[in-house]
Structure 1
């Protein structure tokens, strides 16, 4: 990519922007999902999931605004069946599997892809590692990734770094990402601001997308 975009408005022009929704799945986000359940049972670093519903709702509104403006919307879905995982990844799993194919835990949490959205399955933290995501983005002429989803400091972080290394401009919607690790969450946001891109709000992104929304389109609420 040779197009250097300086301002946020330039970066998130819808024709070359993809909203990336990372791992909004029951095992990561829901009460009784793998992450909340295993941490509660082990008694270490309990995960609070009570904020995930509001995060999901904000992502849903942002996705509607992105679609209305003509931006691409791409969902990353973890599928962590053991047969897909490297030994080092399996060693980090606790007890039962997480996001096992065909289970409730692997289903999307609260929000669902639209009919024109792209869904990419991944088997590790980065959405680019051995997936078709990069090819699909390139086919659409995408140069900017607007990152949302969970966990800020794990799969969102891994994917945005990988995307940056591939040449994408990176924007994080700070009210549309979350983590059970507040220190890690804030650390990723701080690192992005210094090294990888920009951090902004869904409200500001909706305002910028709205500049490109055709007249007469339904309002994004």
Structure 2
């Protein structure tokens, strides 16, 4: 039974073709998390320019993909919507996970809120998700804002945790 699970959302060539905040730093921290994890789940968006098995759909080359990683394709911002994600989590007895990836304000945010509503215990890797600058707000401002909102999300009995990568790695180290 995996107890250190990392879900990596949409870290794909086509998604990251648009400049994203701190791409190299985010990839480095995601690799630190996945190296320490018992199980890694890669979520991949499918759509125009992100067709299955295309170069755009592929995970960015900077990320390490553990041999036992699970992969889930999705067509919406919500990683649970019309996918087998919940079934895969159930199959492996997973009810909690750390989430990271792209884009903070779209797929990461939606997956966190839906997942928490479904009863999954979610921890956000605060410094391992990214997005792009938008018309009215910078990527860094969005990341900070979303971390604040998630940490204060009203979900009685199932709060979303928000932690820096180093703090998560410390929690996972044997005492």
Superposed CA deviations along residues 56-104 of structure 1, whole A, max 9, x for unmatched, are 12101110011xxxx3211101111xxxxxxxxxxxxxxxx33123322
Superposed CA deviations along residues 124-160 of structure 1, whole A, max 9, x for unmatched, are 1111111111111112221212111011111111111
Residues matched between the structures, number: 163
Q: Does the CA-based 8 Å contact 2:21-2:130 persist in structure 1?
A: no
What is the alpha-carbon distance in structure 2 between the residues aligned to residue 112 and residue 137 of structure 1?
21
Cross-structure match for 2:77: 125
Secondary structure class of the residue paired with 1:26: coil
Counterpart pick for 2:96 among 144, 160, 167: 144
Q: Does the CA-based 8 Å contact 1:148-1:173 persist in structure 2?
A: yes
Q: Does the CA-based 8 Å contact 1:17-1:142 persist in structure 2?
A: no
Cross-structure match for 2:33: 62
Cross-structure match for 1:192: 150
Offset at residue 209 of structure 1 (A): 1.4
Match runs of 1:8-157 below 5 Å:
15-29=2-16, 33=17, 36=18, 48-49=19-20, 51-66=22-37, 71-80=38-47, 97-109=48-60, 110-157=62-109
Greater share of residues in helix: 1
Offset at residue 170 of structure 1 (A): 1.4
Counterpart pick for 2:129 among 163, 168, 177: 177
Query: Greater Rg, structure 1 or structure 2?
Result: 1
What is the alpha-carbon distance in structure 1 between the residues aligned to residue 56 and residue 21 of structure 2?
17
